[in-house]
């Protein structure tokens, strides 16, 4: 009986220590990488956004799974802010944006938030620039709110059902919300630190990871428990709610462009890029030979030229 008591004491001590470490790490991260923009309340979420530049056309940028606004701010935004008004958001739960615990996270629900941002900021039919999962959310927004969207510039987008989750993301596949939060506030932070190099190599490869990605690209924000919880929530919400969107791609009438790296390890350009031509034969498809998934950071000149072309077509 005594050993059982001491065992329970030890378990409680370890759990409390992990929670303290997660909270301490999050506080340190937020000190060195504070929010750079403003906030707007939309449908129960407090959305952090950064605005740059000016111009007759607005670009609204939506990041991917586990990312944040820094993924665009690192290299792409300044290349476009000379000619466009650029708005970059942290999606609900990501970066410095919040999401209610019981809020849905499927692409249609996040599209509702994007449409709410367009209305709240009085944006005049922006061009949606969606990267990875942000591409799926951009498509859902254009389908659900076509009058609010000028064009779609999709960067390495998720456009079809992904049959197999890459191994580096499988730790995010947690069914129950309570378990997700428990892991987020205990094991997620130290495991993220241990797996960081492997995950970044997979996501960026074969391109190198920028040396300043942690701060300039928002990478360090992924060390916080909230980042793990948001990414897990987003990934699990894709399972049942994404497939019905695909049948509606043919209804899109605005210009749609897709740019992909041919060596993307996260999403196959043949399925998610070339596959779009089965639905939209006139899609502007731009393939970057030998590039990986994070082309907003690794091929910003090519991506900026692509965005300008899609915007001009609108």
**Closest among 44, 80, 45 to 60, alpha carbons compared:** 80
State how far the Cα of 297 lies from the Cα of 79, in Å rounded to an integer: 12
- pLDDT given at position 241: 72
- pLDDT given at position 100: 87
∠148-152-157 over CA atoms, to 5°?
130
Residue 149 burial by Cβ neighbours in a 10 Å radius (0-12, 13-18, 19+): buried
Which residue bears the tokens 């709410």?
116
Cβ atoms 73, 210 nearer than 8 A: no
State how far the Cα of 78 lies from the Cα of 21, in Å rounded to an integer: 36
pTM, rounded to two decimals: 0.94
**Closest among 94, 72, 131 to 225, alpha carbons compared:** 94
- pLDDT given at position 13: 67
- pLDDT given at position 287: 97
**Which residues does residue 86 pair with via DSSP β-bridges, in sequence order?**
52, 59
- C-alpha 264, offset from chain centre: 16
- pLDDT given at position 65: 96
Tokens, residue 148: 């609010």
Cβ atoms 175, 239 nearer than 8 A: no
What crossing angle do the helices spanning 225-241 and 2-32 adopt, rounded to 10°? 90
Question: Which residues of the chain, if any, have pLDDT below 50?
Answer: none
Tokens, residue 276: 């779009």
């Amino acid at each position: 009986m005594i050993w059982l008591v001491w065992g329970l004491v030890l378990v409680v001590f370890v759990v409390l220590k992990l929670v303290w470490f997660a909270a301490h790490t999050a506080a340190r991260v937020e000190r060195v990488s504070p929010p750079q923009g403003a906030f707007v309340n939309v449908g129960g979420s407090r959305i952090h956004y950064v605005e740059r530049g000016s111009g007759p056309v607005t670009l609204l940028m939506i990041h991917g799974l586990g990312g944040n606004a820094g993924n665009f701010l690192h290299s792409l935004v300044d290349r476009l802010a000379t000619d466009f008004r650029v708005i970059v958001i942290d999606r609900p739960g990501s970066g410095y944006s919040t999401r209610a615990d019981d809020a849905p996270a499927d692409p249609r629900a996040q599209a509702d938030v994007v449409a709410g941002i367009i209305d709240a900021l009085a944006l005049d039919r922006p061009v949606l620039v969606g990267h990875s999962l942000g591409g799926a959310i951009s498509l859902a927004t254009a389908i659900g709110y076509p009058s609010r969207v000028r064009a779609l510039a999709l960067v390495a987008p998720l456009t079809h059902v992904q049959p197999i989750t890459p191994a580096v993301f499988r730790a995010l596949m947690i069914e129950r919300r309570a378990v997700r939060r428990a892991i987020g506030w205990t094991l997620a932070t130290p495991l993220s630190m241990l797996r960081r190099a492997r995950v970044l190599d997979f996501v960026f490869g074969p391109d190198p990871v920028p040396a300043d990605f942690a701060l300039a690209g928002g990478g360090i924000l992924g060390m916080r428990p909230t980042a793990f919880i948001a990414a897990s929530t987003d990934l699990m919400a894709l399972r049942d709610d994404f497939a019905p969107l695909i049948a509606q791609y043919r209804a899109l009438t605005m210009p749609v462009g897709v740019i992909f790296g041919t060596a993307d390890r996260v999403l196959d350009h043949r399925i998610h890029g070339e596959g779009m031509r089965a639905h939209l034969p006139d899609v502007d498809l731009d393939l970057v030979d030998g590039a990986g998934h994070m082309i907003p950071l690794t091929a910003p000149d090519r991506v900026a030229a692509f965005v300008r072309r899609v915007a001009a077509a609108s």
